[in-house]
Amino acid sequence: MSFNECENLVSTILNTKSVEENFFEYVYKKISRNTKNRFVEKNEQSIDIILSNHPSIKVVPVFTNMNKNKLSIDNEVKIACDVVLNSEFKYVYFVYPKNKEFNKHIQVKIPILEDTCNDYVIKLIPYSLNDILKKRSCNDNSNILCK
C-alpha cells in the first residue's frame, strides 16, 4: 500500500478530524482493545501502556510517509530523549502507517541515551491498516461473514 492509499484510508475513519487525529485514534483503539495485564491511557501526543510485568511503554503515533532508506527522525530523537531522561518511561515506540517503503520495525540507538541509560528501547514501528480495509470491504459487501 502506498502512503497516499494509507492517507485516503485513514481519512475515512472519522470525517470530522484531520488525518493525523484519525491515525492517533485508530492506534489508540487498537491498543486499548486488550487491557489484560495492562492499563492504557491516552494523552495529548501519546498513548501510555502501563504494564504489570514489564516496563511501561509510551507510544507516539506519527502520520507521515516513513521511508526506511531515507530516515528523517530528528524530532523523534528529541522526543525520545526527553521521555527517557525525564520520565519513568524507558520504552518509546513511534508508530507510522505501514507502506511499501516502511514495513519492518527499526530499533534506534541514541548516543546520549547509550551513555546515560542502560535499559531503554526506541523503535520505529510500521502500523498495519488492515482492520480499516477489512471493515471497508465488509461495508461495501453484504457478505454475512463480515459481521
In a domain, 147, yes or no: no
Q: What is the mean pLDDT of the chain?
A: 83
- Residues with Cβ within 8 Å of 13's Cβ and at least 6 positions away in sequence, in order, are 22, 25, 26, 132
CATH number for position 60: 3.40.1350
Residue 133: its H or E element: helix 130-140
Whether residue 109 is contained in a domain is answered as yes
- Look at residue 145 and tell me if it is in a domain: no
Is residue 34 one of the residues assigned to a domain? yes
Q: pLDDT at position 16, please?
A: 60
Domain that holds residue 41: 3-139
Residue 85 pLDDT > 90, yes or no?
Answer: yes
The mean pLDDT of 17-34, rounded to a whole number, is: 88
Give the best-scoring range by mean pLDDT among 74-78, 110-114, 132-136: 74-78
pTM, entire model: 0.83
In-domain check, residue 131: yes
Q: Contact 26/62 with Cβ under 8 angstroms?
A: no
128 contacts: CB under 8 Å, gap ≥ 6: 98
With 50 as the cut, is the pLDDT of residue 21 above it? yes
**Total domains in the fold of the chain:** 1
Per the domain annotation, does 146 fall within a domain?
Answer: no
Residue 87 falls inside a structural domain: yes
* Contact (CB, 8 A) for 92 and 107: no
